[in-house]
A and B are shown apart, each in its own frame.
Chain A
Amino acid sequence: MLEPRARSTILARGDPVLSHALTLTDVSKRYRTVTAVDGLSFRVAKQEIFALLGPNGAGKTTTVRMIQGILAPDDGRVEFGIDGTRGHCRPNLGYLPEDRGLYRDQPIERILQFFGRLRGMTKADARRETETWLDRFELGDRKREKLETLSKGNQQKVQFAAAILHRPALAVLDEPFSGLDPVNQDVFLDLLEELRDGGMTILLSAHQMDLVERCADRLLIIGNGRRLLEGTVDELRARRSGGTRLRVSLENGPPPLADDDPSVAAVTARADGSYDVEARAGVELSDLLAVVSRWPGLRDVASEQQRLHEIYVDVVAEAGGGEDDASSVEPSP
């Protein structure tokens, strides 16, 4: 395996790479029979929560592995605008992989201290942070128990602590919400925001769109290893549907709408007899309301934002998705 740690780039002051925590430029990775990542470029700003989304096989895991230095890109560059991302323990990077596990037959206290030390912490710091995080997750009184004695949710908390115990500048969290109940999902959301507010940059990948929508500052949807859509949730809404949508109920059937209406992009009938009315790009809510209010038999109007889940499904469906499996690393030809 190649070690991308060796690929260093000397950056000049004022370079945009330095002002961002992470910059990927035209990164590609090919396995024997499939191109997992195909000329992907994006930037993650410092101190933001950035979500990397995509269907199974879109290239997320491969991208994350290249960021972590586990895989070397065939083309392109992975660059960091933070220190401590190279060397023997890469103390400013944290990683929670999708396929994760820890030493099940070891006490959780030892496991966390070991991972902290692996990331360059001193013995005392690793011990102190272990105490802090176990107390925070209400596992302080079980610190000498073996990991295998914990529930799946508690194991997930230990996993999470192992990834960020050393307080990295950039934490990459692959599916951080999996295995958590709704209460703990909320706990983790708060935690992510707290870590970001404390200065940490977080790149996460998840399939729980409602959770991503609540925490991500910006997001990138990829498919077949390529960039499909990037921006804040509001920007994505705006790009996909003009950002404005109304649900209307009419007494007299479908709305009277001309094909070339300058305000309305589309009207979709719903099963309950109401209609979704989407505004054209750039049309304000007040303008759309003015149009709708003139329709005869108007009984009810409600403003509705398109959810990230819908945007994601639409975007992925348009791109054709992807099903290659990058969970096992194969040598490049």
Chain B
Amino acid sequence: MSRWQVTMLLARWEFRRYFKWKGQIISWSIMAVLMVGLAVVGPRLVKKAVSETTEVGIVGETPFEVPPAMGLTFRRGDEPELRRAYEAGEIGGLLSLSSDSEGTIESRSEAGWLFGLRAALNQGRKASRLEAHALDPAVLTDINAPFRLEVVHPADTDDDQDEAVAETKPPGSRRPSKWDKILTFAMLSFMTMGVFSGTALLFTGITSEKQHLVTEQIVAAVPPQAWIDGKILGNGMRAIESVIEMVVWSLLGMLIWRGYVNPDFAGFDQVSPGLLLVIAALCTLGFALWFCFFAAVAATIDDPNTSSRGMLIMMPMIAPALAIPAYLHPDSGLALFSSLFPPTAPMALTVRLVIAEVAAWEVIVALVGLVLATAVLRRAAGKVFAMAILMRGKELGWREMWRAARTSG
């Protein structure tokens, strides 16, 4: 067998260790039943919820006319009569207004219709105050109007003039659409989920192999580098598979949701394939980089229950942490550094790509840096893994790990 065949054999084994067809089919079936149920019953439930109303009793006179509120109807009358109705459960609450600024509501629960009631009272009070101060509603609207700050992007003019030309430009030179941003955010979220779920698989898989004394037989048969490559590929594929599952179910959920409330999907066709391709490449390479790192760390852990190295699983959080400055000040030196530094580049550069102008060279340097860093880390991880995987009873020290990673061969 060739080295590649051995690696793929190990990758398939790693994938199948945690991917059980029976379990998957059961979980997919449950999700499908839930989705179908939601699709069939959901619209009726929403319709019913929207048409459902709660009646609220208004005691005595009110300083202003209470405007109608969604899901609420009002009954006016004397307090004894309304209280009887309230106690009999015919009405949901008893409202008393002591002035145009204060009042009380008696209710058996902190129900959601209270939000609607508050909004209606605010609106009623506002109208009352306008009248009291003899203010023209148009003046109030003018006062409350927000400052309209339009962000003009250098590429906007190009887009308007020649859409076809804009599409052929590097990703940073075209202003991303709303859907570019939504999909980018979704990809980053899924990448983060994938890194964490895949890392958990790696840690569980490797430490259990050490605890079950499997390692020596495998190392005797195949080179440790092929083994760790197989682990990275297999567990990576398993993590990606679980991410794809999440994406599929999310999309199905969105489609069902769309059936209820018909959200605005306009502009979806303006998604930039070039931008998404670059972001997909950044996400994939970032995923691979962290996987190589964690495979080496997992091999050094003797007992996952007592090892302090388990906390290293949180290390990928530095990527979103450094993406915040990239978002706040995308043209700063720190943002540029975090966009080019391989461990943080996938997230920081992605954020900058959708909010700022990024030069094509930055994208190229980041991608090349990620490829090189992943290759170096893969090799170093293989050497650390080869030394650490057979150790039991003690963990490889940081200095030994560094020395192992630097050995040639």
Q: How far is the CA of A104 from the CA of B391 in the complex (A)?
A: 20
Which residues in chain A, 50-72, are within 8 Å of chain B measured between CB atoms?
A: 65, 68-70
Contact among B17, B217, B394 for A97, CB-based, below 8 A? B217
The answer on a CB contact under 8 Å between B6 and A118 is yes
B166 close to chain A: CB less than 8 A: no
Taking the nearest CB of chain A, how far is it from the CB of B406, in angstroms? 12
A291 close to chain B: CB less than 8 A: no
Which residues in chain B, 1-54, are within 8 Å of chain A measured between CB atoms?
A: 1-3, 5-6, 9-10, 13, 16-17
Taking the nearest CB of chain A, how far is it from the CB of B383, in angstroms? 7
Chain A residue nearest in CB terms to B209: A103
Given contacts A2-B409, A89-B221, contact A328 B6 (CB under 8 A): no
Which residues in chain B, 217-231, are within 8 Å of chain A measured between CB atoms?
A: 217-224, 226
Chain B residue nearest in CB terms to A114: B13
Q: How far is the CA of A330 from the CA of B222 in the complex (A)?
A: 20
Q: How far is the CA of A103 from the CA of B212 in the complex (A)?
A: 7
Which residues in chain B, 371-409, are within 8 Å of chain A measured between CB atoms?
A: 383, 386-387, 390-394, 400, 403-404, 407, 409
A88 close to chain B: CB less than 8 A: yes
A12 close to chain B: CB less than 8 A: no
Q: How far is the CA of A112 from the CA of B220 in the complex (A)?
A: 16
Which residues in chain A, 154-183, are within 8 Å of chain B measured between CB atoms?
A: 162-163
Q: How far is the CA of A18 from the CA of B123 in the complex (A)?
A: 98
The answer on a CB contact under 8 Å between A329 and B217 is no
B214 close to chain A: CB less than 8 A: yes
Number of contact residues on A: which range applies? 35 or more
Given contacts A90-B221, A331-B404, contact A97 B216 (CB under 8 A): yes
A2 surroundings in chain B (CB, below 8 A) = 407, 409
The answer on a CB contact under 8 Å between A70 and B6 is no
The answer on a CB contact under 8 Å between A89 and B222 is yes
Q: How far is the CA of A331 from the CA of B401 in the complex (A)?
A: 10
B364 close to chain A: CB less than 8 A: no
A102 close to chain B: CB less than 8 A: yes
A117 close to chain B: CB less than 8 A: yes
Contact among B10, B16, B220 for A68, CB-based, below 8 A? B220
The answer on a CB contact under 8 Å between B387 and A329 is yes
Q: How far is the CA of A2 from the CA of B223 in the complex (A)?
A: 11
Taking the nearest CB of chain B, how far is it from the CB of A313, in angstroms? 29
The answer on a CB contact under 8 Å between A115 and B221 is yes
Contact residues of B: prevailing secondary structure: helix
B365 close to chain A: CB less than 8 A: no
Taking the nearest CB of chain A, how far is it from the CB of B227, in angstroms? 10
Number of contact residues on B: which range applies? 35 or more
A17 close to chain B: CB less than 8 A: no
The answer on a CB contact under 8 Å between B223 and A5 is yes
Q: How far is the CA of A93 from the CA of B404 in the complex (A)?
A: 27
The answer on a CB contact under 8 Å between A88 and B1 is yes
The answer on a CB contact under 8 Å between B220 and A104 is no
B5 surroundings in chain A (CB, below 8 A) = 88
A120 surroundings in chain B (CB, below 8 A) = 1
Chain A residue nearest in CB terms to B386: A1
A6 close to chain B: CB less than 8 A: yes
Q: How far is the CA of A120 from the CA of B5 in the complex (A)?
A: 10
Q: How far is the CA of A67 from the CA of B224 in the complex (A)?
A: 16
The answer on a CB contact under 8 Å between A118 and B212 is no
Which residues in chain A, 76-120, are within 8 Å of chain B measured between CB atoms?
A: 88-90, 93, 95-97, 99-104, 106, 110, 114-115, 117-120
The answer on a CB contact under 8 Å between A101 and B2 is no
B213 close to chain A: CB less than 8 A: yes
Contact among B209, B221, B403 for A119, CB-based, below 8 A? B221
The answer on a CB contact under 8 Å between B222 and A88 is yes
Chain A residue nearest in CB terms to B408: A2
Which residues in chain B, 183-229, are within 8 Å of chain A measured between CB atoms?
A: 209, 212-214, 216-224, 226
B214 surroundings in chain A (CB, below 8 A) = 101-103
Contact among A95, A100, A331 for B221, CB-based, below 8 A? A95
A106 surroundings in chain B (CB, below 8 A) = 17
A65 surroundings in chain B (CB, below 8 A) = 216
B17 surroundings in chain A (CB, below 8 A) = 103, 106
Chain B residue nearest in CB terms to A87: B1
Contact among B226, B390, B403, B407 for A70, CB-based, below 8 A? B390
Taking the nearest CB of chain B, how far is it from the CB of A114, in angstroms? 6
Given contacts A6-B409, A331-B400, contact A115 B217 (CB under 8 A): yes
B394 surroundings in chain A (CB, below 8 A) = 328
The answer on a CB contact under 8 Å between A69 and B220 is yes
Taking the nearest CB of chain B, how far is it from the CB of A118, in angstroms? 5
Chain B residue nearest in CB terms to A110: B16
A304 surroundings in chain B (CB, below 8 A) = none
Can you identify 15 A-B contacts, CB atoms within 8 angstroms?
A: A1-B404, A2-B407, A3-B386, A70-B219, A88-B5, A88-B222, A89-B1, A89-B221, A95-B221, A97-B217, A104-B212, A118-B9, A118-B222, A119-B221, A328-B390
Interface of B with A (CB < 8 Å)? Answer: 1-3, 5-6, 9-10, 13, 16-17, 209, 212-214, 216-224, 226, 383, 386-387, 390-394, 400, 403-404, 407, 409
